[in-house]
Amino acid sequence: MSFVKSVDASDMIKTADTLFKLFAEVIEWVGSSNIVHVVTDNVVNYVSAGKLIHEKYPNIFWSPCAAHCINLILKDIASLPHIADLASRASKLLRLVDVDEKPSLGIVYAGMQRAKINIKTMFRNRKSAYTPYTSKYLEVFVDLFDIETLCDDSVAAMQEIQLYRDRKESFGRESALKAIKRLEPGEWWRLHGGSAPNLQKMAIRLLHQTSSSSGCERNWSLFE
């Protein structure tokens, strides 16, 4: 994580437009083509600012803080007496996403996908029954999978998915298979994704993203 800039906004009214202008200044300084993803707090004005960023810079995606989302989910679950103990144990998931040392977006995506599948199965795939449980929190990260903006040649990337799925060429090497559970996902793709250069580029850009704004909040606390 690199610290770029701090702004004393204590005397500002933090509307969506004001926040957007502050973020846009940094984006222009860094270069919009060098940015994939912006993570903010989940408060309404930050959510609106994130959407304004994506409108002006279509290649930059926004998502809310995963640590905050998971915290809200567990808070709702914990209010149900018969599964309070489960919620307590599930809170360990926060430790995986609320870190600065390594990217966590891949963990969040995998967890969200498993949760969606299990919820749909629990409700026997009845859309009217499972939608209230999947739409509130589990759909907030979907936009990041827009392959058109993460990859220069989206058609080639889609064709390369079959190589990965069928474990062909570099994906089928013994060293690649042994390293799957030992390396961070982004590092694994860097070392073993050479047979699918377009898909490799997309995977590295996506899997090296953070999913939490907690690191920034910890930086801010130094100035308080």
Render 181-210 in DSSP notation, one character per residue: TTS-HHHHHHHH-TT-HHHHHHHHHHHT--
Count of structural domains within the chain: 3
The residues with which 63 forms a beta bridge, in sequence order, are: 39
In terms of pLDDT, which residue wins out, 74 or 124? 124
Residues 109 and 156 grouped into a single domain: no
Query: For 170-208, b where at least 16 C-beta lie within 10 A, e where not — what string?
Result: bbeeeebeeeeeeeebbbbbbebbebbebbbbbbbbbbb
Tell me, yes or no, whether 184 lies in a domain. yes
Tell me, yes or no, whether 11 lies in a domain. no
How far apart (Å, rounded) are the C-alpha atoms in residues 71 and 119? Answer: 18
Can you give the residue range of the structural domain that contains 152?
148-207
Residues 6+ apart with CB under 8 A from 119: 130, 133, 134, 138
Name the least confident of 120-129, 165-174, 215-224: 215-224
Residues 186 and 197 grouped into a single domain: yes
Structure tokens at 50: 């994130």
Tell me, yes or no, whether 224 lies in a domain. no
Residues 137 and 183 grouped into a single domain: no
Tens of pLDDT, residues 196-222:
998 888 888 777 777 666 666 655 555
Tell me, yes or no, whether 8 lies in a domain. no
Kindly report whether the global pTM for this prediction surpasses the value 0.75: no
**Residue 118 pLDDT greater than 60, yes or no:** yes
Last residue of a domain, one of 37, 64, 91: 64
Residues 203 and 159 grouped into a single domain: yes
Residues 156 and 195 grouped into a single domain: yes
Tell me, yes or no, whether 84 lies in a domain. yes
Residues 156 and 203 grouped into a single domain: yes
